[in-house]
Amino acid sequence: MEEDTDFRIRFSSLCFVTDHVGFCGTIKSSPSDFVVIEIDEQGQLVNKAPSKLISKVLPEPNNFAKKTKLDLQNLSFEEGSNQEVSIFAGCSGADHYYQSASEREDTISDGTSKGEEETVDVLGTLLDEKTNELLNHFACDIKEKWNSKTELIGSSPEFSLGRILDKNQRAILHSAIRQKFPFLITVGKNSEIVVKPNLEYKELCHLVSEEEAFDFFKYLDAKKENSKFTFKPDTNKDHRKAVHHFVNKKFGNLVETKSFPELNHSAGNPNVAITVRFREKTHKHRKRSLFEYQDRKVIYTAFTLRKENLEMFEAVGFLAMKLGVIPSDFSYAGLKDKKAVTYQAMVVRKVTPERLKNIEKEIEKKRMNVFNIRSIDDSLRLGQLKGNHFDIVIRNLKNQINDSANLKDRILEAIENVKVEAVKLFLTPEDLDDPVNRAKKYFLQTEDAKGTLSLMPEFKVRERALLESLHRFGMTEEGCIQAWFSFPHSMRIFYVHAYSSKIWNEAVSYRLGTYGSRVVEGDLVCLGEDVDDEHFPNNKVHLVTEEEESANTYAIHQVVLPVLGYNIQYPKNKVGQWYQEILSRDGLQTCRFKVPTLKLNVPGCYRQILKCPHNVSYQLKEEHDTDVKMEGSHIDEATLSLLISFDLDASCYATVCLREIMKHDF
C-alpha cells in the first residue's frame, strides 16, 4: 500500500500523453494575453451579433431523415419566387379546403385564414430556411404517397427538426406544424422534435372528405374556447354512426359529438350534420394555445458579458446589486477564467433589456461590458454550449533546459503533435496571497466566523453568506447545513461538480500513468460515435474484456472514466480500485450521491479521457508585433512570442492543452 500511496501522490498533478520535447514560455502575463470566447450550441462565437434565427433552435442535418425511405438529404433547392408557392399548392392545399361556418368569418380577403398566415410566419421565424424547405418537402412527399394510394413501406417515415432546448419554443413549433400540416403529428424526444405522418388523419379520410379531415385536425389542435366544428351534412345514418364512433374512440376524452338535422330538410330523408365541441372540463384545464405562449409574464433578457480580470461570481454579484435582483436570477452555460478577457452568454430573469442597458456605463468601471442585449423565452443551463475559442499569447519563448534544438522546430513539432491529441482535464484554482485567501486561512486556523467576516471583502458574496450562516447557527452540523443552503442551488451543484472534477482529473492521470495509451481489460469504453460528450447512457458504456484487450478492439480515444454519481459504474481494474481508495480517504465510501438533507441528487456521467483541439492556428511574433523572419540570421529567443488560437469542447481547459503542447508546468 505504501507504493500505491506514493504513486498516487506522484500523479496528483497532470501527466503528459504525447512524447515531443516542448518548450518554455510565460502565459497570462496580462489578462489581454488570454482571451476566451464562448461558442454557443449553434457553433457561433457569442461576441458576434446573434443570428436572425431564434438561438435555441438547433437543426441537426444528420438526423433529418431517420427511419425513412424518402430521399430528403439529396433534394436540391432552386432559388426563385415560385418555389414556396409550388410547395404549398402541391401539399397542403389549404386555400381551397372546406371551411366550417365558424371559421369562414376569420378568412382574409385573399383566401388565407389569419391563423394560417400567423402559422407560416411562426415557422419562418423559428426554423432556418433549409429546415423549413425540408419540412415542406417531407409533408408533400407524405401527401403524394397517400394520394397515389401507395402504402409506406417499412417503419413510419420521420423528419427531425433537431434539438430545440427552449420548452416554450418547442410548444409553439408543435402547434404551428400541426396547424399548417394537420396530416402530420409531432413527437418530442429529449428536446428533439420529430415529425411523422398522422395515421389517424388518413383513417378519417376514409370516412369524410380530405378537406373536412384537414379542418377537423386543425380545429382539434387549436383548442379554441367555445368553438365548434361541423362536418358536412350527411343523409346516410350508418355513415354518420361510423364518424361518431371514430371521433369518440380517438378523441372522446377531449371532445363530444352530436347530430343536428339541417333546416328545411325532407322529413323522409333528412340531412343531418355532426357537430363536435370540446368537453367542458377540457376548457378549464386546457393547454395554452399557440400564441398564448407569447404572453408569458416572466421576463428573460439574454446578453453577452465581457469581463476582464474578474471572477465570474463577483461579476454576477455586482450585476445583481445594480439591477436589484439576486445572483440566482442569472443563468449561464459555464464558468470562465478570472485572469483573462472572457466573453460568455448569460440570461437574467425579471430584468428588461432597457433596464440592463441603463447600467452599461456603471459596470464599465468594474471592467465589464454587456452587449447583444435582447429578450428571450427561457434561462440558460450549465453545459448549454458547444465549447470555447481561445486566443492566447505565450511570451518569452525558449528551449527546455539542456535542449539545443532550433526553437522554431520545437514549436512546430509541439503544435502539430497536439493537433492530434490533448488530455481533457481540469485544473484547480491558484492559491494566491490576497485578502480573500488570508481571510480563509484565518478561518481554518480559528473557526471564528465573526472574525473572518470582518476580514472578508464585501464583494465576496458567497463567502460572506456562508460565514453569516455559521456565525448565526454555530459550527455544528445544523450550522453547516444552513450555511450550505445560503448558496443558490446552481452554486451548490457547482461545488459538488468541482470536487467530482478534481477526482476525475486525478483518475485520468492515474489511468494514463498506469496503463499509458493501451486499452486494457476492465477499462470502460464508449460504444458508438453519435453520443454527446458527458451524456453517455450506461448501455453505451462497455467493460473491456481480456479477449478484446488482446485483439486491440478499442482505441484510447474511446476510453471514458466516470464522474462521481449514483448512476455510474467504475472500471474493473486498478483504476476502479483507485476510485474506491480515494472515496474512502475522503469519507465517501458509502455515499450514494443522493443526500436528501442537503437536497443533492447527483447521477454522475462519463467523460472521454482524450480530446482534440479544433481549428488550431498560430503565429510567431517579435515583441514589437512584427512577423518573425525564420530564415537567415540567429534570432534573440527572449524576444519571441507565440500567438496561438484553437477551439476546445465544453469542459476542456486551455491551460491543460498548453501544458501538453509546451511540456511545461505553469
Cell digits of residue 561: 472514466
Distance CA(484)–CA(23), nearest Å, equals: 44
> Crossing angle, helix 129-147 and helix 114-126, to 10 degrees?
130
Q: How many CB atoms lie within 10 A of CB 32?
A: 13
Q: Which H or E element spans position 65?
A: none
Specify whether the CB–CB gap between 183 and 156 falls below 8 A: no
Specify whether the CB–CB gap between 414 and 644 falls below 8 A: no
Distance CA(204)–CA(214), nearest Å, equals: 10
CA angle 570–576–581, rounded 5-degree value: 120
Q: Which H or E element spans position 116?
A: helix 114-126
DSSP code of 164? Answer: E
Distance CA(242)–CA(262), nearest Å, equals: 19
Residue 256's contacts (CB-CB under 8 Å, 6 or more residues apart) are 248, 276, 277, 279
Distance CA(192)–CA(159), nearest Å, equals: 11
Instruction: Tell me the residue type at 443.
Output: F
Q: Which H or E element spans position 171?
A: helix 167-180
* Active site (catalytic) residues: 337
Specify whether the CB–CB gap between 410 and 59 falls below 8 A: no
Instruction: Tell me the residue type at 290.
Output: L
Specify whether the CB–CB gap between 46 and 304 falls below 8 A: yes
Residue 331's contacts (CB-CB under 8 Å, 6 or more residues apart) are 346, 347, 348, 349, 379, 380, 381, 490
Provide the CB-side half-sphere exposure for 487 (13 A, CA).
21
Distance CA(304)–CA(5), nearest Å, equals: 46
Q: How large is the C-alpha radius of gyration of the chain?
A: 31
If we measure between CA atoms, which residue out of 561, 651, 574 comes closest to residue 604?
A: 561
Number of continuous H segments (helices) and E segments (strands) in the chain: 22, 24
